Chains A and B, each alone.
Chain A
């Protein structure tokens, strides 16, 4: 593998696409949870689940892509900042996979299968179990809120690099040139 100065277009696309999906999915999830039973609630649950399944799929693709296409080297910064940045990135990957996965588990335990895009019924991961469902919905919410705060931290760090350090950390995530030839 070679050192690259920029992210691949695939990496940039996945980054921003997943950001939009997660922001939408989170907002719908936070809004729908306390709604009274209504057709709107049922629809929002369906859309929330479709977004979650898409995020799960894209997170796995993105993880594989990252393992094969090494990201560009860090901008110059203290060692502790590098460590913090990389830990945050891996935590984001873990949460992007765990949050929808626990949501899917919760859906199965609650007795509502996931039918992706109203077409494909995904297998139930566990049998219907009310007690388990109650625990899983709490875990799902906790993971989602943790993801929100880690995303906020990640964004704050990117803005700090852009406005205070004035380096290319944020700019290169907007670069559409693709990686330079080695």
Chain B
């Protein structure tokens, strides 16, 4: 039970940090945005998308240093296109969506690069574990809205995702691509 309480307090801390940035006003238009994870099984690249997520990106091209981002993803919404595989990844050995329904990325600092580019450093929290990552992001003006795009690579094993019996079949590295539209 201690682990559960720890997970709960961790989840609470993340939720508070998320709320501080998102402030109950998610700016991301989830219907027009995509978050896709690409993993390899037997060297076959498989794309699967998270169907439900929300969040906020505060970005001012004139003050890129002050940018902030908070994204919250429902791990149970991972869709590989086949229900039996979707049900498998919700299980304890994978996302354990019942205990850890949300994954979050919350930025701590932003380093502007060339025009329209910045590196967002922040904490990715998944299945109760956090990792500090730096994600290169491209911001473009699409009509009246902003579009943020980028990709990052994470280790499945670091976050304890997947039973070890799968390690010979599914690669450790998972690439996450996002296309966030405001």
A residues whose Cβ falls under 8 Å from a Cβ of B: 36-37, 39, 42-43, 45-46, 110-115, 118-119, 121, 128, 130, 133
Which stretch, B4-12, B80-88, B130-138, touches the partner chain A? B80-88
A43 to B167, CA, bound (A): 12
Q: Interface centre among A42, A45, A46, by most B CB within 10 Å?
A: A42
Contacts of A113 in B (CB 8 A): 44-46
Interface residues of B in 13-32 (CB under 8 A from A): none
Q: Does B165 reach chain A (CB closer than 8 Å)?
A: yes
Query: Does B98 reach chain A (CB closer than 8 Å)?
Result: no
User: A118 CA to B169 CA in the complex, in Å?
Assistant: 11
- B165/A110 in contact, CB under 8 A: no
Q: Give the residues in chain A near B42, CB-CB below 8 Å.
A: 42-43, 45-46, 115, 118
Residues on B with C-beta less than 8 A from A118 are: 42-43
CA distance A42 to B47 in the complex (A): 15
CB closest residue in chain B, given A49: B44
Interface pairs (13), CB distance under 8 Å: A39-B166, A39-B169, A42-B42, A46-B44, A111-B48, A111-B80, A111-B81, A112-B44, A113-B45, A114-B44, A115-B42, A115-B45, A128-B81
Q: Contacts A39-B169, A112-B44 given; 8 further ones with Cβ under 8 A?
A: A36-B84, A42-B42, A113-B44, A115-B42, A115-B44, A115-B45, A128-B47, A133-B81
Distance, CA A43 to CA B42, complexed state (A): 7
Tell whether B60 is near chain A: CB-to-CB under 8 Å: no
Interface centre among A39, A46, A118 (most CB of B within 10 A): A39
Which B residues fall within an 8 A CB radius of A? 41-48, 80-82, 84-85, 87-88, 165-166, 168-170
Chain A residues with Cβ below 8 Å from B165 are: 39
Compute how far the CA of A118 lies from the CA of B40 in the bound complex, rounded to whole angstroms: 11
User: With a CB–CB cut-off of 8 A, which chain B residues contact A36?
Assistant: 84
Please name the residue on chain A nearest to B163 by beta carbon. Answer: A39
Note all chain B residues with C-beta closer than 8 A to A46. 42, 44
Interface centre among A43, A111, A133, by most B CB within 10 Å?
A111
Known: A37-B84, A110-B81. A43 touches B169 (CB 8 A): yes
Residues on A with beta carbons closer than 8 Å to the beta carbon of B46: 111-113
